[in-house]
Amino acid sequence: MAKINPFKAVRPTRDKVSLVAARSYQSYTKDQREARLRDNPFSFLHIVNPGYRFDKEVSGKARYGLVKNRYLEFKEEGIFTQDQTSSFYIYRIVNRDGDMFNGIIAAASAEDYENDVIKKHEDTLAFKEIVFKDYLKTVGFNAEPVLLTYPNNDIIDNIITKVQQKRAEFEFTTTYRDTHYLWLVNDIEMVKTIQQQFENIPTIYIADGHHRSASSYLLYKDLKNSNPNHSGEEGYNFFMSYLIPESNLKIYEFNRLVKDLNGLSKEEFLIKLDEYYRIENRGKTPYKPSKAHHFSMYLDGEFYSLYLRKSQYTFETSLEALDAQLLYKTILKPILDIHDLRNDERISYSHGKNDIVEMVNKIDNKTYKVGFGMVPATIEQVKQIANDGLKMPPKSTYVLPKLRSGVTIYEF
């Protein structure tokens, strides 16, 4: 039984939402951030980068207090206002590729995370969880929803469709050419129906935002243990999430780029690959695999197809059948001596939405020596790995949609 609650969102005013909304801080280049901070006083980037006012980089706990101050200033100046009625928020994104995503922004339960009603498929780093937990404890809000996915549900779909027949509370297009829409749902019966439908769903899955959800859970534990009057309904018992049906997700792969061949010559490397793969040189013609357990490789200006020799590798778990894990077990670790996929500086990642152009450019300009591509994981694989209590390697999935920060804010 999944528990979700409506909440009183803090939101930008209608006239400023397009100016406030921001992508995640890390997704901007330094020059892009500088331009937005310089030219747009309403950008949410001013809140998450509070040192800009002082022309200084501020980090650690000193930054957390300044983030809270900037946030309060946005409220005091009327840039943000809080809804008076608890609501669910129907959110639609139409991206520049024509993909449409429809879901519900709600408060998801930290207890559901603890009890594995909300399932995870990626490992998190403990120190990052603690750092972000401390950040949340100071600032007191979520500004970017965790992306959760649930099985398709006709009743929820019908409610979303019905609500979207009315004029949206927000409608704005970003410079990235994505159009965003938001509708409020505070009708008592409609809210009750949505909650009842989720109560009938035994499991929902994290699609994106594992560290954010883990940090929210740690915050819940901290505040629960320090509150002698804990009731289970305090704001810290929940975290802001965007819930979207499984069929509406888009999952892309991440390409792997490696800086060297671990001391091997090209010929020695290909001979080692031959143990596990049938190799075909495709020359200059771009090659992108279309089947699981097939990989593309770009090396010395040429494309290769790699087809797994199934007699050499058996899939004993759902994780071992995942192509990102297969590549790690057969090439990255044994041949290229890459053991730590998160921290080894010899490996980098490029998500498949960028196709293979970025990978080719980085190898041609000698930044990297070899690159590997694969087909995306499926939602069925993601769910099965989560159900089995296993964890994918880092950068196994690049999931759309990506939401903007600052459009709805959940205070706790």
In a domain, 382, yes or no: no
**Residues 243 and 316 placed together within one structural domain of the fold:** no
pLDDT value at residue 57: 84
Predicted TM-score (pTM) of this structure:
0.93
In a domain, 380, yes or no: no
In a domain, 341, yes or no: yes
pLDDT value at residue 44: 98
pLDDT value at residue 279: 98
**Residues 220 and 361 placed together within one structural domain of the fold:** no
**Residues 228 and 268 placed together within one structural domain of the fold:** no
**Residues 241 and 262 placed together within one structural domain of the fold:** no
**Residues 247 and 265 placed together within one structural domain of the fold:** no
In a domain, 395, yes or no: no
Domain count, the chain: 2
Question: Rounded to whole angstroms, what are the CA distances from 368 to 31, 75, 255, 257, 363?
Answer: 24, 46, 12, 6, 5
In a domain, 13, yes or no: yes
Which structural domain range is residue 407 located in?
A: 4-251+400-411
The Cα 110–Cα 237 span in angstroms is 6
Could you count the other beta carbons within 10 Å of the beta carbon of residue 167?
Answer: 8
**Residues 169 and 302 placed together within one structural domain of the fold:** no
In a domain, 385, yes or no: no
**Residues 36 and 175 placed together within one structural domain of the fold:** yes
Q: pLDDT digit of tens for each residue in the chain (412 aa)? A: 999 999 999 999 999 999 999 998 888 999 999 999 999 999 999 999 999 988 888 888 899 999 999 999 999 999 999 999 999 999 999 999 999 999 999 999 999 999 999 999 998 888 999 999 999 999 999 999 999 999 999 999 999 999 999 999 999 999 889 999 999 999 999 999 999 999 999 999 999 999 999 999 999 999 999 999 999 999 999 999 999 999 999 999 999 999 999 999 999 999 999 999 999 999 999 999 999 999 999 999 999 999 999 888 889 999 999 999 999 999 999 999 999 998 899 999 998 877 788 899 999 999 999 999 999 999 999 999 999 999 999 999 999 999 999 999 999 9
In a domain, 74, yes or no: yes
Q: What is the DSSP letter of 22?
A: B
Residues in contact with 120: Cβ distance below 8 Å, sequence separation at least 6, in sequence order: 206, 210, 213, 214, 386, 391
Length of the chain: 412
Place of tokens 């009750």: 192
Instruction: Report whether 241 contacts 108 (CB < 8 A).
Output: yes
Phi and psi, residue 112, nearest 5°: -65, -35
**Residues 287 and 371 placed together within one structural domain of the fold:** yes
**Residues 247 and 296 placed together within one structural domain of the fold:** no
Across the beta sheet with 347-351, the strand order is: 277-283, 302-308, 294-299, 370-373, 254-258, 347-351
Could you count the other beta carbons within 10 Å of the beta carbon of residue 171?
Answer: 15
**Residues 265 and 118 placed together within one structural domain of the fold:** no
**Residues 112 and 97 placed together within one structural domain of the fold:** yes
**Residues 227 and 320 placed together within one structural domain of the fold:** no
